[in-house]
Chains A and B, each alone.
Chain A
Amino acid sequence: MITNPNAYDLIIAILNAIGVYNIILGFFQDQGMEYVLRIIIVLVEVAVVVVFALVTVMFLSWLERKMFAVVQSRYGPMVTGPRGLFQPIADGIKLLGKEDIIPAKADRWIFTLAPFIVFVSVLLVFIPLPFGESLILSDLRVGLLYIIAISAITPVSILLAGWASNNKYSLMGAIRAVAQDISYTIPLAITAIAVVVFVGSLSTVDIVNAQQGYWFGFIPKWFIFLQPLGFILFLIACIAEMGRIPFDFQESEQELVAGFFTEYSGMKFAMFFLAEYAHLFAVSGIIVTIFLGGWTGPAIPLIPIQITSLIYFMIKTYAVIFFAMWLRDTVPRVRIDQLLHLGWKIMIPLALLNLLFAAFLVTFVVTAGVR
């Protein structure tokens, strides 16, 4: 099987283009430590992604507040930096200066561990996320399965946080979060499988490649047009997975104060906060990758495809993020039993129906994609 080019190959290609790769490689080969060079390149990739994630998170938190303000005919943050753009930095400094409180009856180790697990598990989702043509950390052959599996770690850590806090609100928030996550991962996975049926591969890059081109010359071959029901189900399930309004039961501040992170303060609170926005970006990226054609888009002459594809990916991702934020500004929260009812009795049957429909299409009508 031909592996798709990833960011590692891209870095080597860039180094080759400016003519230093062979010199560096030669230096490391002389030392007999070629693997050190590989490790360094991978670390550079990881650093780029982590920095990108953190900057995105800060920008998103600013964007959310700004959008919230516009909807509510307010200004939002205006004082720190141009139009309040540095507000997230000020917030970060403030949270760094806060006392790090651990409740006396909390389970210290788990209490401390939980926010890091949440944050790391969200960051791990970025690994098979194709930001653009060959802009991917690693094109896992089980990419989609990996994403779903990694996403399933989050509720575990939320449960850890809720349990370790030794607080009734935290515990209830955590239990809700787990119930919600379990019931929505299933329709999420089934709708994703429907797309996999078309593509015949779990690799995210293959999924994007299958969406290149046009039907009748103008409709892009995005899976949203083949799978409109699947897209809607996936979107709802994703918003539930992210735990945003109207499905933000893990927090539900009006009922459970702050849900599972009621007892957290300072940087640990910031970790949950960062994870929330990183998750928002990652999940939006996944929606774009699976249903909205990923980084595909009309090529622009003279500009390398790596750059145009990154721009297309970002535009689409921010469109999805915009939708999620818009939703939060508009609708109230549903009740936990209504949420579970929706998940188990409506979304899962519909998702199964959608899978059947996809299989029918693949067998009899179209054979899109790699196969």
Chain B
Amino acid sequence: METETLLLNMGPVHPSTHGVLRFKLRMDGEIIRDCQIVVGYLHRGTEKFGEMKTYLQFIPYTDRLDYIAAMPNNYAYVKAVEELAGIEVPQRAEYIRVLVMELNRVINHLVFMGSLLLDLGASTMIMYGFRERENALQLYESLCGARMTFNYIRPGGVREDLPDGFIPKLNEFIKDMEKRIVDYEELVNGNEIFLMRMKNIGVINAEEAINYGMTGPSMRGSGVDHDIRKLEPYSIYQDLDFKACMRREGDSYARYLVRVDEIRESLHILKQIVDKLPKGNTINQRYGFAPNTGAPSAVTSYFPRIFTPAEGEVYSRIEAPKGELGFFVASDGTTKPYRVKIRSPSFCNLVALPKMVLGLKIPDLIAAFGTIDIVLGDVDR
């Protein structure tokens, strides 16, 4: 019988494209013969804003890249600026930075678990994930007043010191999470239908993952031991005991398990930070003009609003929850960057999706897409 392929436009408005992503699918019945990804529906010109704003003014814009986990975006940009201008950071500030970033990794992976299960049709996990996330967001709220778009990390340190009662609440959260993660694994990992949907779906081997430029948990699911926290330890990561979680299978289930393991590792890191947290300034006093009054609500430190790094360029990368997040910042010796280029993990990981799903079915596309864990704000910038 003669059959025709069906051109199916999935998105940009579709329940499970995580925003405004569009797939152009060529379908043979239920089977995907061709998959093209169309991005750009959420393009806001963030990189151009980088050229138009001063170094400090651009920090809030980085919050809007990966809004599920905004702290690493803050940090990645600030780290680039610090390298460009050669700014020293006090030890306590570094600990607080890693604390908020690892907390953000927990949040990100909780949202990942929830939205993946939602994509598969089980809508309970997302509520549980959001329940725990709420506790963490309240921690952030007490820290910097914002729940998602923090604008917290400054060149030379962080905006404010930890408020009173932050560490006990954090300990509570860690203890709670350690119990909950066991529950979630029971709910999800042991589910036969979940395994049927995830195992041997969206397989990508190590070589292909490298060639496609994947990074982060999505790549470590394929057995590539690539964690920038280990490869190029930045901040205080060399002082911390953690391992880069890795699986060899390269399928959706491996990518999922890597992230669940990472929640555990992040909690482990958080515990170490709570133990080791040194006393001292939270921002480089050479740059922070305000006296440190010690009052939790007062703005205790800030960075000079205008400053001019010497001419030069720097590429700095960190391990964001979704993968390698890099900022290229070029200075021409003025108050504004000459060029800001963002290498976002979501965009680079997304490219590998068509390779994963060719010959599979629409439900597998959704499952594999869910395990890549993208945020459209990060893809389109």
A residues adjacent to B (C-beta < 8 A): 68, 71-74, 168, 172, 245-246, 248, 252-257, 329-338
Contacts and interface: CB of A to CB of B under 8 A. Distances in A.
Contacts of A74: 127
A335 B122 contact: no
B102 interface: no
B16 interface: yes
Interface residues of B, number: 28
Contacts of B14: 257
B127 A73 contact: yes
A329 B8 CA distance: 30
A162 to B, nearest CB: 14
A330 B127 CA distance: 12
A332 B197 contact: yes
Contact of A255 (B122, B194, B363): B363
B191 A331 contact: yes
A51 B131 CA distance: 40
A254 B197 contact: no
Interface stretch (B112-120, B156-164, B249-257): B112-120
A254 B120 contact: yes
20 contacts: A68-B123, A71-B124, A73-B127, A73-B128, A245-B121, A253-B15, A254-B366, A255-B362, A255-B363, A256-B362, A329-B123, A332-B191, A333-B121, A333-B122, A333-B197, A335-B363, A336-B361, A336-B363, A337-B30, A337-B361
Among B117, B121, B191, which residue has the most Cβ atoms of chain A within 10 A?
Answer: B121
A254 B30 contact: no
A173 to B, nearest CB: 11
B298 interface: no
A335 B364 contact: yes
Contacts of B191: 330-332
B196 interface: yes
B334 to A, nearest CB: 49
Contacts of A337: 30, 361
B231 interface: no
Nearest to B364: A335
B46 to A, nearest CB: 29
A338 B201 CA distance: 13
A72 B117 CA distance: 14
Contacts of A256: 362
Contacts of A333: 120-122, 193, 197, 363
A337 B121 CA distance: 16
Given A245-B122, A254-B118, A334-B197, 16 more contacts: A72-B128, A73-B127, A73-B128, A73-B131, A168-B8, A172-B30, A245-B121, A252-B363, A256-B362, A330-B124, A331-B122, A332-B120, A332-B194, A333-B193, A333-B197, A335-B363
B122 A254 contact: no
A332 B121 contact: yes
A72 B361 CA distance: 30
B121 A248 contact: yes
Contacts of B128: 72-73
